[in-house]
């Protein structure tokens, strides 16, 4: 074969390969649902009208599982806008309230309906003079993942109604997931948080035998200033609940007694002899601690003896029992005024419910399941505190957190 013919054939073969290379390769679906997901983004600007200085935290929630005080949802993701980028030359000028603005973006967001909340982490500057750096917001732990006194709240709201804005990511005309752009998350000194989180210790025995009737727990505020944990509650803040803002205290359970903040949640924890470390803090049927019930898990008989075949979110009936002095103080104040108290009594009823569906009332269960239960206080500001938490001596050393014996408390149902 002549060298000319060999070069010609080689050229034709190369040209054929190049031509084939211009065709799009076939794309085949896989069995991995994560690889088949379409993801997009939510982006826009934070707008701050405040004299506070600190990093801006923007948190994303499922609209059907909003955060406290409206619900008990946990953030799906978050982003941090550094204070230096947000406030620029005004970082050290706390006399100016702006407005200040900076862009934000939340990437890799799947289809769904979302709400955005946030806060200015003014605790960045809590212990030092301006300008200041660092932050006490550490999202990986429940004891460091929420705002404190002096922080400034924010949210994406509807400009006309001031209600939380629902941001939806859905497929466009071409079938691809569209991005949500131009979203504004606003912060204002009008939403400055007045108190620290309701950190507490339980002064009662953990054992609870439901056959003996209700159990009473006595709670005391627990100031904590060690390592990265800085909570300084001097009191609990009793406050009438007025969710519909009609200037009349709510009575959701129709017992003739006004509902009160803080709200109390007693939820069943995961069981198992092999649970160690942070796994000991997981809620039952939420072993990955993402705030969403697992696909499989414990399902308990309902009061009528039936089961629905779905994992339960077991909670116990619980409410505050203010003493006479606290009740008198509440009645003497206007509806929107909080009354500080240095102790709280919580009554835990011998009744269990499945609260897996946040859009419907909890379903009564036939009996109180055995196991361990956590206690959470939800303050009217939306701040929470729960025991047990990562300060438990069985968990804290591995996380580099201070060990606090009282923070390992659980209710034990034999």
> pLDDT tens-digit profile of 167-222?
999 998 988 999 999 999 999 999 999 999 999 999 999 999 999 999 999 999 99
Look at residues 66, 157, 79, 63 and name the one whose alpha carbon lies nearest to residue 121.
79
CA atoms 152, 169, 113, 279: torsion sign: negative
Structure confidence at residue 275 (pLDDT): 80
Per-residue burial over 259-293, b if 16 or more Cβ lie within 10 Å, else e, is: bbbbbbbbbbbbeeeeeeebebbbbbbbeeeebeb
Q: Bigger pLDDT: 214 or 36?
A: 214
- CATH number at 33-192: 2.60.40
Strand partners, 224: 231
Prediction pTM value: 0.85
Query: pLDDT grade, residue 33 (50/70/90)?
Result: low
d(CA 262, CA 278): 26
Q: What is the pLDDT of residue 343?
A: 96
Cα–Cα dist 221/342, whole Å: 7
Determine the pLDDT at residue 105. Answer: 97
| 369 in Cβ contact with 267 (< 8 Å) | no
Q: In this model, does residue 125 exceed pLDDT 80?
A: no
Nearest to 301 by CA among 368, 211, 365: 365
pLDDT digits (tens, 9 = 90+) for 76-103: 999 999 999 999 999 988 899 999 999 9
Name 255's Cβ contacts closer than 8 Å, sequence gap at least 6.
none
Determine phi and psi for 15, rounding to 5 degrees: -65, -40
* Parallel, antiparallel or unpaired: strands 215-221 and 363-364: unpaired
DSSP β-ladder status, 40-49 and 180-192? parallel
Q: Are 68 and 146 in contact (CB under 8 A)?
A: no
**pLDDT(11) > 50:** no
Q: CB burial class (10 A; 0-12, 13-18, 19+) of residue 247?
A: exposed
pLDDT at residue 8 in the model:
40
CA distance 142 to 315: 19
Please report which confidence band the pLDDT of residue 304 belongs to, taking 50, 70 and 90 as the band edges.
very high
pLDDT band at 130; cut points 50, 70, 90: very low
Taking residues 26-44, report their average pLDDT: 69
Backbone angles phi, psi at 382, to 5 degrees: 95, -10
Decide: helix, strand or coil at residue 396: helix
248-253 LR contacts (CB < 8 Å, sep 24+): 248/335, 249/335
pLDDT in tens, 379-410: 999 999 999 999 999 999 999 999 999 999 99
| Dist. CA 72–CA 65, nearest whole Å | 7
In this prediction, residues 124-138 reach a mean pLDDT of 55
In the chain, what are the domain boundaries?
33-192, 200-413
Q: How confident is the model at residue 22 (pLDDT cuts 50, 70, 90)?
A: very low
Residue 236, pLDDT above cutoff 70: yes
């Amino acid at each position: 074969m002549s060298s000319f013919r060999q070069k010609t054939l080689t050229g034709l073969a190369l040209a054929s390969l190049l031509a084939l290379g211009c065709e799009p390769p076939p794309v085949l679906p896989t069995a991995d649902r994560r690889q088949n997901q379409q993801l997009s983004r939510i982006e826009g600007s934070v707008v701050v009208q405040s004299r506070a200085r600190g990093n801006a935290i923007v948190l994303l929630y499922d609209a059907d599982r909003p955060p406290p005080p409206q619900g008990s949802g946990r953030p799906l993701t978050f982003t941090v806008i550094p204070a230096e980028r947000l406030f620029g030359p005004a970082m050290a000028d706390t006399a100016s309230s702006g407005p200040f603005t900076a862009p934000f973006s939340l990437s890799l967001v799947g289809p769904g309906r979302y709400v955005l909340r946030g806060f200015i982490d003014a605790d960045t500057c809590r212990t030092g003079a301006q300008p200041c750096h660092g932050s006490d917001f550490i999202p990986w732990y429940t004891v460091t993942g929420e705002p404190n006194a002096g922080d400034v709240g924010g949210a994406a709201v509807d400009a006309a109604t001031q209600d939380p804005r629902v941001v939806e990511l859905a497929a466009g005309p071409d079938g691809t997931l569209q991005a949500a752009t131009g979203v504004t998350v606003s912060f204002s000194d009008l939403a400055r948080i007045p108190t620290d989180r309701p950190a507490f210790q339980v002064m009662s025995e953990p054992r609870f035998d439901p056959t003996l009737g209700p159990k009473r727990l006595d709670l005391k505020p627990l100031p904590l200033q060690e390592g990265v944990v800085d909570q300084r509650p001097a009191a609990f803040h009793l406050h009438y609940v007025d969710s519909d803002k009609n200037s009349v205290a709510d009575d959701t359970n129709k017992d003739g007694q006004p509902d009160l903040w803080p709200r109390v949640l007693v939820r069943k924890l995961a069981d198992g002899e092999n649970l160690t470390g942070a796994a000991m803090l997981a809620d039952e049927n939420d072993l990955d601690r993402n705030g969403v019930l697992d696909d499989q898990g414990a399902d308990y008989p309902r009061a009528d003896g039936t089961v629905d075949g779905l994992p339960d979110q077991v909670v116990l009936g619980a409410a505050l029992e203010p003493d006479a002095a606290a009740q008198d103080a509440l009645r003497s104040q206007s509806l929107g005024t909080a009354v500080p108290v240095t102790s709280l009594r919580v009554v835990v009823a011998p009744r269990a419910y499945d609260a897996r569906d946040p859009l419907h009332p909890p379903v009564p269960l036939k009996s109180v399941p055995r196991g361990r239960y956590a206690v959470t206080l939800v303050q009217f500001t939306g701040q929470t505190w729960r025991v047990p938490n990562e300060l438990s001596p069985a968990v804290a050393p591995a996380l580099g957190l201070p060990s606090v014996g009282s923070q390992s408390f659980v209710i034990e149902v034999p």
